[in-house]
Amino acid sequence: MSVLSVKKNNEQIYGLFLIITVYLQKVLYITLIMNKSMFFAALAMVGLAACAPAQKQETTKSGLNPANFESVFGGKETHLYTLTNNNGVEVCITNFGARIVSVMVPDKEGNFVDVALGFDKVTDYETIPSDFGATIGRYANRINQGKITVDGVEYQLPRNNNGIHCLHGGSTLTPEPLGWQYAVFNADAVTPNSITLSYVSPDMEANFPGTVNLKVIFTLTDANEIDINYEATTDKKTVINLTNHSYFNLNADASPIIDNILAINADYFTPVDDTFMTSGEIRPVEGTVMDFRQGRVIGEVVNADDDQIHNGKGIDHNWVLNAKRDINVPAAMVWSKNTGITLTVFTDEPGLQIYTGNFLDGTVTGKGGQLYGQRTAICLESQKFPDSPNKGNLEGWYSAELNPGETYHSRCKFVFGTRCCEEHESCQHCEHHNK
């Protein structure tokens, strides 16, 4: 295009601008005569239109588009909620299944990365069977043969775990959604760093007796803690065991977590058979591959030639915590050497189920188009022991019963930090990153 052509085009644009300006002045003058207040409102709108940039959809720090979580499922609206603290940490939660969708924390270099597996949009949660980040109920983990007896009445629960046991409250997505992880919770209260979600589980949902009113409160503290509090009541005697099923990848890249270091503050665990069911035995970890008291590389254990590892297809076991339900005593810690990120778990529950993503197989595409392959995450699920409704009378086990007039309480904290090396306590670099 020639210089003359450019000049001519600029003159035409300028002329058009003058015409529009004169027109607006006439409109505003007429408006002034008719109503002075309308004039000033119109003038303000013109000013705003001139100054405001083009609208664009805001995304979260983790790259999520909140609009992708606006949906209706089972007649109820779903949304995405963002919690932040004064350190720049961000946790995104959806009321679909009361799920943690993303967790943005700093690595050892101060770069913020997402350490939670999940999906970019709620329709994936609605159509792809998963428990990514979900609140699990009415009973987390397995119940033998899907049978419980409450007040002398036997109840047959869904046998959704290979047709043998009831897993995670009998949850299933097809043919009909069932289980709390596929329920839409109510958002009762939202602040910049916390959200209270609630759900009413009707009597005989998944064949569990009693109407249960649940409240789960997520709080992101300035200590970089995700503090999860559960409360529940029932109108009929029932069993209950709640947990959060977040899949954490501290490498922050959906790579296998087998190079991570895992430490568990537990002298005992509950062994399982080849159907993943506990026997009722509480076995010492001493002298077994299940001894993580001093910290071990995960890959050294999940690939071990050991009956328990074979039965669990890797690590999928419950440990009897030494903390003895003291929320101030660490239950377990995971550390990625790659990012330096640490995750420490605290809970007032007696057990911690640890699962190393053994059944992830690369067929599910998660956030950012990442494929979730085997052992690309670790789950740390605070809980009563598996099958406690049938073993609660055994020594060392805990009852999972809830009676009318009582309130169920459970708490778990996921605490994030950084360290750069094995000599963390004496390393100045680590101390710098943990100030």
What digits encode the pLDDT tens for the residues 54-64? Answer: 334 589 999 99
Please state, in angstroms and rounded to a whole number, the distance separating the CA atoms of residues 113 and 379. 18
On the question of pLDDT at 194 being above 90, the answer is yes
Element (H, E) at 412: strand 408-418
Strand partners, 270: 318
Instruction: State residue 421's pLDDT score.
Output: 76
Among residues 242, 241, 276, 271, the alpha carbon closest in space to that of 164 is found at 276
List alpha helices for 247-383, DSSP H: 298-302, 307-312
**How is residue 55 annotated by DSSP?**
P
The answer to whether 371 and 365 have CB atoms below 8 angstroms apart is yes
Does the active-site annotation cover 431? no
Task: Tell me, rounded to whole angstroms, the distance of Cα 253 from its chain centroid.
Answer: 17
Here the tokens at position 327 are: 């929320």
Does the active-site annotation cover 231? no
- Point out the least confidently predicted range of 23-37, 60-74, 253-267: 23-37
Q: What is the pLDDT of residues 229-286, one digit of tens each?
A: 999 999 999 999 999 999 999 999 999 999 999 999 999 999 999 999 999 999 999 9
Here the tokens at position 384 are: 């009563």
Please state, in angstroms and rounded to a whole number, the distance separating the CA atoms of residues 42 and 28. 7
What are the φ/ψ torsions at residue 72 (nearest 5 degrees)?
-130, 125
The answer to whether 359 and 276 have CB atoms below 8 angstroms apart is no
User: Could you give the 3-state DSSP secondary structure of residue 74?
Assistant: coil
Instruction: State residue 221's pLDDT score.
Output: 98
In the set 381, 401, 424, 433, the catalytic residue is: 381
Q: What is the pLDDT of residues 73-99, one digit of tens each?
A: 999 999 999 999 999 999 999 999 999
Cis, bond preceding 138 (omega within 30 deg of 0): yes
Q: Which domains does the chain have, with CATH numbers?
A: 3-51 (no CATH), 66-433 (2.70.98.10)
Is the four-CA dihedral 67, 69, 72, 77 of positive or negative sign?
A: negative
Instruction: State residue 340's pLDDT score.
Output: 98
Name residue, tokens 């289980």.
Answer: 179
The answer to whether 411 and 218 have CB atoms below 8 angstroms apart is no
On the question of pLDDT at 410 being above 60, the answer is yes
At residue 269's C-alpha, the angle toward residues 134 and 303, to 5°, is 80
The answer to whether 389 and 139 have CB atoms below 8 angstroms apart is yes
On the question of pLDDT at 14 being above 50, the answer is no
Name residue, tokens 């740390």.
Answer: 380
Please state, in angstroms and rounded to a whole number, the distance separating the CA atoms of residues 70 and 182. 15
Please state, in angstroms and rounded to a whole number, the distance separating the CA atoms of residues 236 and 289. 42
Instruction: State residue 66's pLDDT score.
Output: 98
Contacts of 92 (CB under 8 A, 6+ apart): 60, 62, 64, 80, 81, 82, 83, 100, 101, 102, 103
What percent of the chain is predicted at pLDDT more than 70? 84
Here the tokens at position 345 are: 């778990």
Tell me how crowded residue 52 is: count the other CB atoms within 10 A of its CB. Answer: 8
Q: Mean per-residue pLDDT for 151-156?
A: 97
Instruction: State residue 420's pLDDT score.
Output: 82
Rg (CA), the chain: 27
Please state, in angstroms and rounded to a whole number, the distance separating the CA atoms of residues 292 and 284. 12
Strand partners, 323: none
Please state, in angstroms and rounded to a whole number, the distance separating the CA atoms of residues 4 and 84. 55
Q: What is the pLDDT of residues 341-395, one digit of tens each?
A: 999 999 999 999 999 999 999 999 999 999 999 999 999 999 999 999 999 999 9
The answer to whether 375 and 358 have CB atoms below 8 angstroms apart is yes
Here the tokens at position 142 are: 């397995």
Contacts of 217 (CB under 8 A, 6+ apart): 194, 195, 196, 197, 228, 229, 231
Please state, in angstroms and rounded to a whole number, the distance separating the CA atoms of residues 179 and 202. 11
**Residue 424 — very low, low, confident or very high, per pLDDT cuts 50/70/90?**
low
Q: What is the pLDDT of residues 304-326, one digit of tens each?
A: 999 999 999 999 999 999 999 99
Here the tokens at position 71 are: 């949906």
On the question of pLDDT at 106 being above 70, the answer is yes
Please state, in angstroms and rounded to a whole number, the distance separating the CA atoms of residues 118 and 130. 9
What percent of the chain is predicted at pLDDT more than 90? 82
In the set 165, 168, 245, 424, the catalytic residue is: 245
On the question of pLDDT at 24 being above 60, the answer is no
Between 334 and 17, the more confident residue is: 334
Instruction: State residue 313's pLDDT score.
Output: 96
Among residues 329, 338, 253, 351, the alpha carbon closest in space to that of 297 is found at 338
Contacts of 198 (CB under 8 A, 6+ apart): 185, 186, 188, 213, 214, 215, 216
Mean pLDDT of the chain: 89
Please state, in angstroms and rounded to a whole number, the distance separating the CA atoms of residues 418 and 339. 8
Which DSSP string corresponds to 206-228?
GG--S-EEEEEEEEE-TTSEEEE
What are the φ/ψ torsions at residue 319 (nearest 5 degrees)?
-105, 145
